[in-house]
């Protein structure tokens, strides 16, 4: 993007969106959003964005500003909605679904679920997760393998197990959750366009969970849905609608983030020294996983609404204005991350906000990290000489930064060339 366009942004000119539109899903599938973010961080870290259609919003691109907005629920509320696809329309789940509820109510919903998803609880399922991961990556030995397509099914296998959902439903649930966050993508879009696609995905997912929750109410088991039914919210249980909404949120959070971390690492690093070094030193798995999360930043943005007038970097954000934090930009902020466009598996410290920050820090982060560590450990101990052998295809979505197709080949360790 031309620097004169960014000078216009810095000057606060309302016509700057003629140069770029951060809401356009095509920018993330076919364009180069990071070049825009880099210039915005330099010239206009807090800027007003006015899309060609619909309401405008404030855009936050630097780490410390993002940290402030996401941490302070008293000035920036989640309850009106957290995603750009409903910008200008209050989220009907506000105050009911954990993701769109502010403390203290949010805290009462989150704390018991956080305990249920603790590292100890998740590691109790680690062998089951490992078996699912090994099964998913096994075809790497058989020729060209669509790594991104396989990764798309990985979180559903894990979360589906934790939620006690039948395996025969996993593929369909994966499709509908991806449709919900990428309704503009041709592979998911239905007749009627993005709005019809989003509405259909929501209907299917909520109808599904209504049936599942109704059964669990009568016959609870040892799973996350049954656990949600048992949570005490100050003397009452969650309603059927609240349970359904939170089931949807948990599944969506898992399915639309975890797979793209692995795919982004594979797509960007297969021809560098990163994977061989990592494979020879698997104790780097924890740090490597954190760097993969920073690098991918699969949740591209989170939105908040200002509850009062706030001045941020000399910009007056009015009460009621939408404020969008771009996580992928914050995670490449040159003031926080040395050489941010280098994938460094030894990076320390690594204060990325791929899972958000503050009260809405992703409740499923432990599940995601354990799953990714197991994936990288198993993949790099079993295979070498990864090569991308076809054109990667990115998902068309302004919310998820991810891959739809990524054809690769690899060799089993017992067949690999010696390095």
The sign of the torsion formed by the CA atoms of 360, 361, 366, 370 equals positive
Helices (H), 117-239: 119-123, 126-137, 147-163, 170-181, 193-218, 224-230
- What CA–CA distances, in Å, run from 141 to 46, 145, 288, 384? 48, 8, 23, 10
Q: What pLDDT is recorded for position 418?
A: 41
Comparing CA positions, the residue from 306, 359, 352, 303 lying closest to residue 330 is: 352
Q: What pLDDT is recorded for position 1?
A: 38
- In this structure, are residues 84 and 399 in contact, taking their beta carbons and an 8 Å threshold? yes
User: Residue 61's Cα: distance from chain center in Å?
Assistant: 17
The sign of the torsion formed by the CA atoms of 229, 231, 236, 238 equals negative
Comparing CA positions, the residue from 236, 227, 269, 258 lying closest to residue 392 is: 269
Q: What pLDDT is recorded for position 60?
A: 98
* β-bridge pairing 403-405 and 393-394: antiparallel
Q: What pLDDT is recorded for position 148?
A: 97
Q: What is the pLDDT along the chain (419 residues), one digit of tens a residue?
A: 333 344 334 444 433 444 789 999 999 999 999 999 999 999 999 999 998 888 999 999 999 999 999 999 999 999 999 999 899 899 999 988 999 999 999 998 999 888 888 877 778 888 888 998 999 999 998 999 999 999 999 998 889 988 999 999 999 999 999 999 999 999 999 999 999 999 999 999 999 999 999 999 999 998 999 999 998 888 888 888 889 999 999 998 888 789 999 999 999 887 677 777 887 787 889 999 999 999 999 999 999 999 999 999 999 999 999 999 999 999 999 999 999 999 999 999 999 999 999 999 999 999 999 999 999 999 999 998 899 999 999 999 999 999 999 999 999 987 644 43
> Domain 3-415 - what CATH class?
mainly alpha
- In this structure, are residues 387 and 127 in contact, taking their beta carbons and an 8 Å threshold? no
Distance between CA atoms of residues 59 and 303, nearest Å: 9
Distance between CA atoms of residues 384 and 211, nearest Å: 44
Q: What pLDDT is recorded for position 8?
A: 38
- What CA–CA distances, in Å, run from 357 to 53, 68, 71, 100, 390? 30, 9, 6, 15, 36
- In this structure, are residues 405 and 148 in contact, taking their beta carbons and an 8 Å threshold? yes
Distance between CA atoms of residues 43 and 45, nearest Å: 6
Strand order in the sheet with 76-77: 46-49, 57-60, 322-326, 301-306, 76-77
Q: What pLDDT is recorded for position 415?
A: 62
Distance between CA atoms of residues 412 and 222, nearest Å: 37
* β-bridge pairing 322-326 and 57-60: parallel
Distance between CA atoms of residues 16 and 6, nearest Å: 8
- What would you measure as the largest C-alpha separation in the chain, in angstroms? 63
- In this structure, are residues 108 and 101 in contact, taking their beta carbons and an 8 Å threshold? no
| Per-domain residue ranges of the chain | 3-415
- In this structure, are residues 400 and 256 in contact, taking their beta carbons and an 8 Å threshold? yes
């Amino acid at each position: 993007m031309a620097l004169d366009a960014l000078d216009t942004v810095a000057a606060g000119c309302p016509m700057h969106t003629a140069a770029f539109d951060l809401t356009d899903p095509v920018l993330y599938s076919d364009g180069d959003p990071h070049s825009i973010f880099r210039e915005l961080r330099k010239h206009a870290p807090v800027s007003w964005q006015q899309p060609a259609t619909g309401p405008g919003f404030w855009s936050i691109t630097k780490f410390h500003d993002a940290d402030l907005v996401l941490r302070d629920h008293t000035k920036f509320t989640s309850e009106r909605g957290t995603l750009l696809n409903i910008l200008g329309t209050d989220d009907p789940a506000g105050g009911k679904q954990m993701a769109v509820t502010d403390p203290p109510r949010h805290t009462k919903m989150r704390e018991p679920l956080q305990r249920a998803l603790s590292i100890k609880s998740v590691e109790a399922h680690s062998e089951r997760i490992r078996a699912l991961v090994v099964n998913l990556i096994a075809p790497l030995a058989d020729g060209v393998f669509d790594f991104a397509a396989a990764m798309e099914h990985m979180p559903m296998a894990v979360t589906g197990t934790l939620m006690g959902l039948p395996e025969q439903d996993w593929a369909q649930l994966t499709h509908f959750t991806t449709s919900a966050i990428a309704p503009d993508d041709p592979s998911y879009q239905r007749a009627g366009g993005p709005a019809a696609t989003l509405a259909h995905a929501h209907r299917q997912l909520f109808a599904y969970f209504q049936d599942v929750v109704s059964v669990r109410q009568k016959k609870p088991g040892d799973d996350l849905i049954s656990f949600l039914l048992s949570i005490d919210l100050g003397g009452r249980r969650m309603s059927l609608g609240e349970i359904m909404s939170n089931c949807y949120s948990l599944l969506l959070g898992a399915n639309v983030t975890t797979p793209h971390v692995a795919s982004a690492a594979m797509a960007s690093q297969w021809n560098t020294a990163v994977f061989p070094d990592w494979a020879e030193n698997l104790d780097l798995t924890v740090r490597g996983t954190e760097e993969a999360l920073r690098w991918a930043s699969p949740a591209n943005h989170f939105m908040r609404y200002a509850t009062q007038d706030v001045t941020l970097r000399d910009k007056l954000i009015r009460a009621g204005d939408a404020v969008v934090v771009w996580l992928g930009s914050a995670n490449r902020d040159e003031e926080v991350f040395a050489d941010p466009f280098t994938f460094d598996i030894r990076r320390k410290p690594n204060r990325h906000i791929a899972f958000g920050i503050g009260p809405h820090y992703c409740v499923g982060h432990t599940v995601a990290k354990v799953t990714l560590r197991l994936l990288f450990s198993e993949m790099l101990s079993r295979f070498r000489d990864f090569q991308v052998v076809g054109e990667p295809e990115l998902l068309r979505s302004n919310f998820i930064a991810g891959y739809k197709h990524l054809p690769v080949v690899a060799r089993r360790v017992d067949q690999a060339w010696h390095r």
